Structure 1
Amino acid sequence: MAQAPLPPQDALAALGRIRLDAAGVDDVLNTVADLARRSIPGAAEVSVTLLRDGTAQSVAVTGELAFRLDEWQYEQGRGPCLDASVSGDALSVPDTAGEDRWPDWGSRAAEAGVGSSLSIGLPIQEAVVGTLNVYGRAPRSFDGDSIGLAKTFAAYAAAALSNAHLYSDTAILAEQMRAAMETRAVIEQAKGIVMGERRCGPEEAFSLLAKISQDTGHKLRDVAAALVTRATGESR
């Protein structure tokens, strides 16, 4: 039986009662996902994606639909949860049926009965990169309040991951952190270049980079790096 909806303040209070030093990371993330699904207005399913060494995995899901929506992105190597993982941004898909950044995934999501989604990049903690993914049944399910609440849950998930000490080897930790930071830095550089050339805002700039990634079949980081390299060469 589905659990009853929770007022956001009750869900946040429940988060505050979790003992991060006493609970396993899987239990914490599943609790975060469940509370997010029950309290974020418009949420039908929620998942948490982790990206390690280029491999994505759903480590917490509230249902089979969320799992399938994640897996379709992993199979294609692109989608809002993967792009939000490497950029750290909050990516909104207001209408999956009309989505042009990830049209293949968007059309499959719409056919599966999901009309909109949010993917909130987790702050880098212990060299972990990932997202909190929120899926809604109807188009435009999420307003500003929903996005703000989802960011709060994402921050808590990141704190849980940090507390779990997922990477015990200091050398691996340092390398993972360096690579993750470099990836995000080059995407920010590329966004800045696009904003300067097209006189647009950061969201439009990111959408353009994501569309180029989709059209060319190249990873978002590679598209960003190529743009930065071109701009650097032209400026010399």
Structure 2
Amino acid sequence: MRVTAALIDVADTLVADFDPADFLYRVAEHCMDLLDIGDAGVMLAAPGGPLRLVATTSEQVRLVELFELDAREGPCLSAYRKGAAVDHSDLALHSRWPDFSARAQRAGYRSVHASPIRLREETIGVLNLFRHATGPLCEADQRLARALADATAISLLQQTVLDHHRTLSTQLQGALNTRTVIEQAKGYLSSHHAIDPATAFQRLRAHARHHQIRIADLARDVIDGTVTLPLPPNEESPRQDGRAP
């Protein structure tokens, strides 16, 4: 039941006030609650950017994770680069990350498991699981860590797509609103100057370009009456004697 609840919580990102930081802290807390570990951390990388620490379950593990990033060595970085899980079952044994292993041991950790967060073929981060005991993470916990990492990846992708859709929707709505204002200004000019809509639009566009202003802003000013477009010479008012000027 706890596993099901955790996976549902991780998947529930379709909310208007989605907070990425809070979401990733919840992922780390679910790791602590469900897995045989002492601490957890989450690292993510923006497209083309470096790996960064975004969530931890304690200040102790935060400092170890920051050291790993600064030293550019450790199982978490290796899991990110390889796109595959790394299990360092005994930090006291000789390893290819001597500085990281020594620093993690001083913090009280004896083993580390790192599970990559992947979007299809692209690795975007890693779940870092620290234990106070030696030995590999058990197989069931490894599978669950993989499931949590996958759910995190899917949720982040889902939110990215949603944000992109919201941005497009906002841009589209803005374009539609702008078009409506321009059409209203065309109608106003057509009615007051007895010209066709095409000519009205040409007048708007020419005036906007000449004065280096946005046509939508000019259209609003025309509708509000704060700007009056000058009539072209052939549209001046007739002379008092009734003859054309």
Class of the TM-score when normalised by the shorter of the 2 chains: 0.5 to 0.7
**2:64: which partner in 1?**
69
Q: For 2:4 and 2:136, how far apart are their aligned partners in 1?
A: 21
Q: For 1:34 and 1:46, how far apart are their aligned partners in 2?
A: 8
| TM-score (normalised: structure 1) | 0.62
**2:92: which partner in 1?**
97
Matched, 1:84 2:79: yes
Opposite residue 117 of structure 2, the aligned amino acid is L
Deviation at 1:141, TM superposition (A): 5.5
Matched, 1:133 2:128: yes
Matched position secondary structure for 2:160: coil
Q: For 2:62 and 2:87, how far apart are their aligned partners in 1?
A: 18
Opposite residue 50 of structure 1, the aligned amino acid is L
**2:42: which partner in 1?**
48
Opposite residue 160 of structure 1, the aligned amino acid is S
Q: For 1:162 and 1:72, how far apart are their aligned partners in 2?
A: 28
**1:124: which partner in 2?**
119
CA contact (8 A) 1:126 1:161 kept: no
Opposite residue 14 of structure 2, the aligned amino acid is D
**2:34: which partner in 1?**
39
Deviation at 1:12, TM superposition (A): 3.1
Deviation at 1:54, TM superposition (A): 4.6
Which segments of 5 or more consecutive residues in structure 1 lack a partner in the other structure?
1-8, 170-236
Q: Deviations over 1:8-64 (max 9, x none)?
A: x413323314521113222221111101111102x1111111134352211111111
2:141 to 132, 137, 146: 146
Q: Deviations over 1:39-97 (max 9, x none)?
A: 102x1111111134352211111111221121111111121111111211000010111
What does 1:146-165 align with in structure 2 at a 5 Å threshold? Answer: 146-165=141-160
Aligned sequence identity (%): 26
CA contact (8 A) 1:80 1:119 kept: yes
Distance 1:54 1:155, change over 3 A: same
Query: Whose Rg is larger?
Result: 2
Distance 1:33 1:26, change over 3 A: same
Opposite residue 110 of structure 2, the aligned amino acid is G
Q: For 2:94 and 2:49, how far apart are their aligned partners in 1?
A: 25
Q: For 2:41 and 2:157, how far apart are their aligned partners in 1?
A: 18
Distance 1:82 1:29, change over 3 A: same
Q: Deviations over 1:164-207 (max 9, x none)?
A: 319x89xxxxxxxxxxxxxxxxxxxxxxxxxxxxxxxxxxxxxx
Matched, 1:20 2:18: no
Distance 1:163 1:128, change over 3 A: farther
Distance 1:127 1:80, change over 3 A: same
Q: For 1:149 and 1:93, how far apart are their aligned partners in 2?
A: 17
Matched position secondary structure for 1:96: coil
Matched position secondary structure for 2:105: helix
**2:176: which partner in 1?**
none
Distance 1:141 1:44, change over 3 A: farther
Distance 1:98 1:124, change over 3 A: same
Matched position secondary structure for 2:62: helix
Structural RMSD (CA): 2.4
Distance 1:127 1:164, change over 3 A: farther
CA contact (8 A) 2:115 2:128 kept: yes
Matched position secondary structure for 1:145: helix
Deviation at 1:127, TM superposition (A): 5.8
Q: For 2:94 and 2:33, how far apart are their aligned partners in 1?
A: 26
Residue-pair matches, total: 160
Matched position secondary structure for 2:119: coil
